[in-house]
Amino acid sequence: MKKHQVTIIDIAKNLGISKSTVSRALTNNPNVSAETRKAVLEMAKSLDYQPNMLALSLIKNETRLLGVIIPDIQKPFFAAIVSGIQHAVGRMGYRTIIAQSDESPQIEKENIQALMLSRVDGFLICHTRDTRNFDHVKTLYQKGFPLVSFARICQELPIPKVVEDDFNGLYTTTQHLIETGRRRIALLAGPKHMRASKLRQQGYMAALRQNGITYDQDLVEHTRFLPEHVTSAVHKWLALPKPPDAICTIYDAGGIQIIQLLKNKGIRIPEDIAVAGFGNDPVASLVEPGLTTFEQRPYEIGLIAGKQMLDTLKKKFTDMPPEITISQGKLIVRSST
Amino acid sequence: MKKHQVTIIDIAKNLGISKSTVSRALTNNPNVSAETRKAVLEMAKSLDYQPNMLALSLIKNETRLLGVIIPDIQKPFFAAIVSGIQHAVGRMGYRTIIAQSDESPQIEKENIQALMLSRVDGFLICHTRDTRNFDHVKTLYQKGFPLVSFARICQELPIPKVVEDDFNGLYTTTQHLIETGRRRIALLAGPKHMRASKLRQQGYMAALRQNGITYDQDLVEHTRFLPEHVTSAVHKWLALPKPPDAICTIYDAGGIQIIQLLKNKGIRIPEDIAVAGFGNDPVASLVEPGLTTFEQRPYEIGLIAGKQMLDTLKKKFTDMPPEITISQGKLIVRSST
DNA sequence: TATTCTTTTGGGAACATTCCCACAACCGTT
DNA sequence: AACGGTTGTGGGAATGTTCCCAAAAGAATA
């Protein structure tokens, strides 16, 4: 079944020369006579020789493979980032191994350890919503692996980071809601410990403060991005003596679910309650009414992250501590507000 | 920067024993005394030894890496398949390198050649919508690479194939439209040479025939899945002396676009024209009206394809020619029909 | 013709690991 | 005491490649 693979030694034997000479001919080394090179190239072609990258990797200790750790490839946001990363690093001959953590910190850790053993040349990591311990990434850092952190970043290491326009996104969205006459604006946030959620909430609070609206703790709910959390948050808000006249969320899927819930209850959007999201997922424009949302460009985030990885691999960042890069976004107003 | 990596030779030197013995202790080979094994394990731990999979791969000529070739990871259909594949093969310690062809047959070919050089252990391939020449896959087959073809399959090789419920899907959908009183049913198909498109069209035609409806060539349009093709098809149909009272498509994105187009023209759905899709993309339930569609389970397709790959790797299919597997679907009726 | 310089080639180490073979040490049996 | 068996260990080949060093062959100079 599996026949002997053709090696440079086979070429050498067939031509009665040494493997060193064959290697030179194949690698464009100048120290070969023109006729020898020609003979080697022809023989390589006729034997259908394929270089064995494994042997090369072993010598150079470089695989040209990058590990990409994401929670879930089925989320359009992550799929777009992966696409961006691949297009950025593919030009330089790097391939990516995608590993999904399924939002489990344990699996995230296992994936990283497995890819470390596979000797990938670097890691691009987006943590699970529950990752709070970063020891596994610190180990990577100590071992000298090039690292780039994106979206849900690790702040405890001096590595390149690419994030969304968190603060500004919710600041702008909240500002827009206030400008359209809303005063009791609820916020569907994420896990309390999560950096992006905290920043987005700060943007929301800053807009309220700037417009002289007092912050009402009852109008802010924290979720772990699960549908049941959204349902209970909405029910809680609707049961308030003074229910909100607008709800903004830190993620589109939550906004879309809220639209469905409110429609089912016969509540008019945006007349009774306005709804806004974050991210501009492909679905945001398809729901009825269209979801007002702060656009993010995940593909661009991937491109930037990939670029940063290439720079790190070229050791451009030997001294200067790598900065955090914010991918700008903009508000897209649709009929939900 | 990059310090010397710890090898079994370092362990051997530190303990004053040979590398063979260290190797045995580390691989649970029985021919080591209990005390030696203990000493080796402790030393390995204290030196933070990490086995080098590259060397192992070189010896065994096996990387535990699989190449997955898809057109576009940003399409939910392919993202779900990838997820299924990963979960199926991950259990057996296989990792996947995802390569996107961006619907370009040329890039598809280049990706396959690059991954071949990287010595992946097998390929799971979904071709571009324009791939008609399969020489690159035949080369792979001749070289003995395990192959699995899914969704847009290559029919010219005796390899495992996993496909959607093509014929039945459009047969059932068309049948449903007829049962709800439709008589002039248009079909938005795909490229003429594409197997899935042909089969789906056959399902559509079979349902018409069985109900005594004569096939009208004017009601069938072929697209390359681009939005502009959809627009011109719809315009053409609406300009007919007797426009259709239903439109079914072989992909959800087309159906959704048609819904938008008709709504913009003030045409009522489903009263004036009913619309049906294929695939049950996540968005199908979110548009208004909800898109009736024939559900496919891409995650399941991925699981099956991954399973078939594992079987092929275990050489289960030495003799029997591998069959084509059809992932069953079912009609989901929503308010667009 | 001898000497130096350049070009081309071959031999072997190195990368990290496993596996086969040989040998030593120890044990029990005759 | 000699023999056969088991158990633990070391040495070296093998995987496919590159790279360094030495040497051979050829060309150019004195």
Rounded Cα distance between B242 and B307, Å, is 49
The reply to whether A173 and A272 lie within a common domain is: yes
Over residues A144-168, the mean pLDDT reads 96
Determine whether B235 is exposed, middle or buried from the number of CB atoms within 10 Å of its CB (0-12, 13-18, 19+): exposed
- Interface test mutation site (partner B, options A91, A263, A286, max chain B beta carbons within 10 A): A286
Looking at residue B39, its pLDDT comes to 94
Cα pseudo-dihedral A199, A200, A204, A207, rounded to 10: 60
The reply to whether A177 and A209 lie within a common domain is: yes
Q: Which domain holds residue B27?
A: 8-51
pLDDT tens by residue, A259-281: 999 999 999 999 999 999 999 99
The reply to whether A287 and A190 lie within a common domain is: yes
Looking at residue B309, its pLDDT comes to 96
Per-residue pLDDT for A318 more than 80?
A: no
CATH of the domain at B125: 3.40.50.2300
The reply to whether A288 and A304 lie within a common domain is: no
The reply to whether A123 and A218 lie within a common domain is: no
- Taking CA–CA distances from A318, the nearest residue in chain B reads B1
The reply to whether A93 and A14 lie within a common domain is: no
Looking at residue A4, its pLDDT comes to 73
Q: Within 10 Å of residue A259's Cβ, how many Cβ atoms?
A: 24
| Total number of domains constituting chain A | 3
The reply to whether A151 and A263 lie within a common domain is: no
Strand C contact at CB of residue B7, distance < 7 A:
yes
Q: For residue B44, is it within any domain?
A: yes
For residue B166, give the nearest of B12, B326, B1, B52 by alpha carbon.
B326
The reply to whether B21 and B68 lie within a common domain is: no
The reply to whether B152 and B68 lie within a common domain is: yes
Q: For residue A3, is it within any domain?
A: no
Pick from B53, B80, B144: CB nearest A1: B144
Q: For residue B19, is it within any domain?
A: yes
The reply to whether B209 and B194 lie within a common domain is: yes
Q: For residue A254, is it within any domain?
A: yes
Q: Which nucleotide is the nearest neighbour of A60, by CA and C1'? A: C15
Contact of A316 with chain B, judged by CB distance below 8 Å, is answered with no
CATH of the domain at B21: 1.10.260.40
Looking at residue B318, its pLDDT comes to 65
Q: For residue B233, is it within any domain?
A: yes
Q: For residue A59, is it within any domain?
A: no
User: How close are the terminal C-alpha atoms of chain A, in Å?
Assistant: 65
Rounded Cα distance between A291 and A137, Å, is 37
pLDDT tens by residue, A196-251: 999 999 999 999 999 999 999 999 999 999 999 999 999 999 999 999 999 999 99
The reply to whether B109 and B191 lie within a common domain is: no
The reply to whether A191 and A279 lie within a common domain is: yes
Share of chain A above pLDDT 70, in %: 98
Contact of B7 with chain A, judged by CB distance below 8 Å, is answered with no
Q: For residue A333, is it within any domain?
A: no
For residue B193, give the nearest of B144, B147, B132 by alpha carbon.
B132
Strand ordering across the sheet containing B292-295: B220-222, B185-189, B246-249, B274-279, B292-295, B330-332
Over residues A76-84, the mean pLDDT reads 98
Looking at residue B1, its pLDDT comes to 41
Q: For residue B58, is it within any domain?
A: no
- The Cα-based distances of B267 to B104, B262, B274 in angstroms read 36, 5, 10
Cα Rg for chain A, rounded, in angstroms? 26
**Collapsing DSSP states into helix, strand and coil, what is residue A114?**
helix
pLDDT by position in tens, chain B (length 337): 455 789 999 999 999 999 999 999 999 888 899 999 999 999 999 999 999 999 999 999 999 999 999 999 999 999 999 999 999 999 999 999 999 999 999 999 999 999 999 999 999 999 999 999 999 999 999 999 999 999 999 999 999 999 999 999 999 999 999 999 999 999 999 999 999 999 999 999 999 999 999 999 999 999 999 999 999 999 999 999 999 999 999 999 999 999 999 999 999 999 999 999 999 999 999 999 999 999 999 999 999 999 999 999 987 666 676 789 999 999 999 999 9
CA distance B246 to chain A (A): 21
Residues of B in contact with A64 (CB under 8 A): 118
